[in-house]
Amino acid sequence: MKQFELAFAVSGESVQYRYEKAGKATWSAEYSGGELKLYCRYSWTDDPLVLTSKAKPGDNVLLRCYPHRLELYVDGKLCDEEWPYGENELAGSALADGREPKITGFTEPERKEPPEVLGSFTGAEGWMPGGGVFVGDCMPYSFGGRYHVLYLYDRHHHRSKWHRGAHQWAHISSADLEHWVIHPMAVEIDDPWEASICTGSWFYTGKEHALYYTVRTMDGSPAPIRRSVSADGFHFKKDKSFSFTLSERYNRASARDPKVVKSVDGLFHMFVTTTDKKIGRGCLAHLVSDDGESWREVGNIYESPDGREPECSDYFEFGGKYYLIYSLSGVGHYLYSEEPFSGWVAPADPVIPCGTVPKAAIWRGRIIFAGFRGIGGYAGTMTFKEAWQNPDGTLRF
């Protein structure tokens, strides 16, 4: 079965069920101290995916299994998720201990387009979705009078999918930075080969909204640069016709975080985090395109002072100055210039004091950065910082 559900009621016993194949545990569930743990083994590795939840005897448990995602429900509430790769080892296994759960195949109902707004909350400083979900890299964007934040939806502090992250792009927005609404997921993992949807950027062509990102692969092969598109800025679909990788000059497997902008002459520019193997240093590879479809490399717009790769780049013009943003070891830095793509000047204090990997959006004439503060590892809560421009082009926060 490609899609199946496994259901049982929690008992007071420590072992809920245990399946084995060739003397090895494949799928099992254990209960102790009010915590339920499900172990799901796939052909990719001997290490099982582990889903956990608080539970008590009598609770109804449902594990919904798709080829690309596992969902753990306790009494109808989604409590944990994981993202598999390979063939599940439940097939051909035999029950070795515990009570046999009910296993049935299912057909997912035809997916309808979700509403534009799924919920609301007040105050995004220090906010996270909860329910085991944390805020990772933030990607703010200003459009339609609203300040939007796309962010990496994180479970398990980057340890999902065998420590590959399994990040997806979630989406919130506000018209006043106080009252916020939650929008549908912008970019989801929907194929098992996708290890994680990395950070990127939002670009509006004047006709459609495009999200640019790289996809971390499960086998470590070059990460393709891809995009999702939308007519309204709230419902995005993957553009499967758009995909390319960097040349052999760069570390193609680590390529990530593409930032796309358009210059006044109509040329598209893209900056990609990677390592330039010719110089042995991290860099932002600079690509250009005449039409936004075919891209060519033109060198590096920034090279780090060491082997660290400058992550989560950003770029904007403000008050006649141009700003290039990047992070080293998670700490945000900025350069400024009077020229759009050269002549960069490093200020005396280049650090952007806004959590981890901050990026900015110009909202109602204000420079508002968004980042995250980690809790117990990667990802945590959302944080913001406003920047003002000094007469010489430097920023104060």
Local confidence pLDDT in tens for the 397 residues of the chain: 789 999 999 999 999 999 999 999 999 999 999 999 999 999 999 999 999 999 999 999 999 999 999 999 999 999 999 999 999 999 999 999 999 999 999 988 788 899 999 999 999 999 999 999 999 999 999 999 999 999 999 999 999 999 999 999 999 999 999 999 999 999 999 999 999 999 999 999 999 999 999 999 999 999 999 999 999 999 999 999 999 999 999 999 999 999 999 999 999 999 999 999 999 999 999 999 999 999 999 999 999 999 999 999 999 999 999 999 999 999 999 999 999 999 999 999 999 999 999 999 999 999 999 999 999 999 999 999 999 999 999 999 9
What is the reported pLDDT for 123? 97
Tokens of 134: 């944390």
Tokens of 56: 């008590």
- For the chain, the structural domain boundaries read 4-105, 119-396
Tokens of 60: 């109804």
What is the reported pLDDT for 49? 98
Which residues 6+ apart lie within 8 Å of 247 measured at CB? 297
Task: Count helices and strands (H / E) in the chain.
Answer: 1, 31
Q: Tell me how many degrees the CA angle 306-309-311 measures, rounded to the nearest 5.
A: 140
Instruction: Give pTM, 2 decimals.
Output: 0.96
Residues paired with residue 55 on neighbouring β-strands, in sequence order: none
**Domain 4-105 top-level CATH class:** mainly beta
Q: Quick one: 226 exposed, middle or buried, by C-beta within 10 A (0-12, 13-18, 19+)?
A: buried
Q: Provide the strand spans (E) within 240-330.
A: 256-262, 268-276, 281-289, 296-303, 311-318, 321-328
Residue 163: enclosing H or E segment and its boundaries?
helix 160-163
Q: Could you give the CA distance from residue 366 to residue 176 in angstroms, rounded to a whole number?
A: 12
Of 282, 181, 289, nearest to 225 by C-alpha is 289
Q: Could you give the CA distance from residue 328 to residue 347 in angstroms, rounded to a whole number?
A: 16
What 3-state class would DSSP assign to 162?
helix
Q: Could you give the CA distance from residue 317 to residue 324 in angstroms, rounded to a whole number?
A: 9
What is the reported pLDDT for 108? 80
DSSP-assigned letters across all residues of 16-29: EEEEEETTEEEEEE
Give Cα separations from 297 to 255, 310, 396 (angstroms): 13, 18, 34
Residue 82: enclosing H or E segment and its boundaries?
strand 77-82
Superfamily of domain 119-396: Glycosyl hydrolase domain; family 43 (2.115.10.20)
Looking up tokens 């004439």, which residue turns up?
Answer: 365
